Structure 1
Amino acid sequence: MPETTPAISDSARELDRLLAIMARLRDPKSGCPWDLEQDFRSIVQHTIEEAYEVADAIEKDDMAALVGELGDFMFQVVFYAQMAREAGHFSMVDVLKSINIKMIERHPHVFSSVEINTASAQTLAWENHKAAERAKQAAAEGRPPSALDGVIGGLPALTRADKLQKRAARIGFDWRHAGEVVAKIEEELAEVRAELGSGDRGKLDEELGDLLFAVTNLARHLEIDAEGALRRANAKFERRFRQVEERLRAENLDPANAGLDRMEEAWNAVKRAEARES
């Protein structure tokens, strides 16, 4: 008997248990009032939050937290499947069948005789397969396909900017090197400066958006995930600012009343301390 059989059996048993728990929570007579009030739209934000909590645990390399966060995220899938089953749309079995079929179709080098020997070749084959799926969808909708098809609007803005740029780059609409993108950033920054005193909030919003889009483009050319880089910058700012507060309180100063100059001194002291430790 294959060594993986016990793990598969355990997984199936625990998945069945989770499905039963979800069904109980949604039972009209004995279920949880909160769970019964939910619909597809009301739990979307919870799903997004759970995905970010998974990302946060990975960023922190916290495997103990990750196992729990992945469970929370899986619960979201089960929640949707239960509501869909109640409405007669589909079930968890359909969800699992769908992803199984998709994975097999998109990996012919693993599940059939097609030969793909490198990760880059696999990435190209994957993208070609998805492009064919998008073209088929466009034909079904009676419209010409676009290189930007399938880049959903609900993505975080930096992530979506990166994906839009990558799609456009595939058909040749791209800067040739990072230096050209830096020049574009400088151009966009100059346009932001020009609008600062204009009082036109709409135009300033537009120019600032262009600047952020250009910065995302630079991250892409440097093969840096813009969303991840900003997430790490957020974490660094939070870590340093909390240390600033600690330093001020150690001097019997209320951070809220310490003043910008004193806070700046503490900030620079924190940075110097980090530099010595690195």
Structure 2
Amino acid sequence: MTQLPRLLTIMQQLRDPQTGCPWDIEQTFASIVPHTIEETYEVADAILHGDMYDIKDELGDLLFQVVFYAQLAKEQGEFEFDDIAQAISDKLVRRHPHVFDKQSQMSQESLALQWDAIKQQELKNKGQEADDSALANIPKGLTPLLRANKLQKKCAKVGFDWPELPPVVDKVHEEIEEVLAEVNANEVNQGAVEEEIGDLLFAVVNLARHAKVNPEMALIKANNKFEKRFRQVEKLLEEQGQDVTKASLEQMEAAWIKIKSC
């Protein structure tokens, strides 16, 4: 951990009102949030590509986000980096009594129930009113795909879930039909179209969950695959003397099919 004090010192220097970096000086908790989200996805992207150098580099960028928040809080007299480290250490020990209190082996189901009970107790200890809903403690800041997945998992815990795949698939088809009905209506209601597409996306997340697939990761991989193939389409068209901006849809589709078949 010899480099951590150096990193904290660098962060403090960047925020120095007299000699620091103008950009770093003007940042606030709120202004950094988009960068934190971006860095999180860049970590995920590096891991998907399997480049250990990039993973190390991106994890450093993500750690810098935590250090930045810690410096802002220190300046406001709220907390410091060590307080963050202590808080997460205490929480991990508190939420894993089966590890640190040497309890007997517990089933996955028992561990999940214990985890939820401990989280509810933590809220009470903070003086916050416990949320007794099955949908308690789902962060609003999650991406829509992840939040949909969390909502569905919470409902599944209390039995509000299909036990088999076929009705889940049927629901996806049903939602597609409802989207088409709104799109093809004589007078298209854009709000209704948006609502039905939202229902369709929610149903697809449910399909992913039942197939034991993380919808966020599935979409990230699909985006990467699409980007890779389209770049290959551009390259192929260029080799054929075509400019992608001037190529017809038929020419691009032919190139796409050729790339996809390779």
TM over 0.5: yes
Distance 1:143 1:83 in 2: 30
Aligned to 2:165: 178
User: What per-residue deviation string (whole Å, max 9, x for no partner) do you get for residues 184-219 of structure 1?
Assistant: 111111100100123100000000000000000011
Alignment of 1:268 with 2:248, yes or no, is no
Alignment of 1:88 with 2:112, yes or no, is no
Aligned to 2:229: 240
TM-score (norm: length of structure 2): 0.94
TM-score (norm: length of structure 1): 0.89
**Aligned amino acid, residue 61 of structure 1:** G
Distance 1:127 1:248 in 2: 55
In structure 2, relative to structure 1, the CA distance for the partners of 1:123 and 1:259 (3 Å cut) is: same
Aligned to 1:164: 151
**Runs of 5+ consecutive residues of structure 1 not aligned to the other structure:** 1-10, 274-278
Deviation at 1:156, TM superposition (A): 1.0
Aligned to 1:206: 195
**Aligned amino acid, residue 150 of structure 1:** N
In structure 2, relative to structure 1, the CA distance for the partners of 1:143 and 1:101 (3 Å cut) is: closer
**Aligned amino acid, residue 181 of structure 1:** V
Deviation at 1:29, TM superposition (A): 1.1
User: Please, which of 142, 151, 155 is the counterpart of residue 142 of structure 2?
Assistant: 155
**Aligned amino acid, residue 144 of structure 2:** A
User: Please, which of 32, 39, 42 is the counterpart of residue 53 of structure 1?
Assistant: 42
Identical amino acids, percent of aligned pairs: 50
Query: Is contact 1:116-1:122 (8 Å) kept?
Result: no
Distance 1:120 1:187 in 2: 33
**Aligned amino acid, residue 104 of structure 1:** V
Distance 2:159 2:88 in 1: 32
Root-mean-square deviation (CA), in Å? 1.7
Query: Is contact 2:13-2:20 (8 Å) kept?
Result: yes
Deviation at 1:120, TM superposition (A): 6.1
Aligned to 1:63: 52
Query: Is contact 1:84-1:91 (8 Å) kept?
Result: yes
Deviation at 1:129, TM superposition (A): 2.7
SS in 1 for 2:85: helix
Distance 1:238 1:32 in 2: 36
User: What per-residue deviation string (whole Å, max 9, x for no partner) do you get for residues 4-27 of structure 1?
Assistant: xxxxxxx1x211111111111111
Aligned to 1:31: 20
Aligned to 1:4: none
Distance 1:76 1:202 in 2: 38
The runs of at least 4 aligned residues of structure 1 exceeding 6 Å deviation read none
Aligned to 1:101: 90
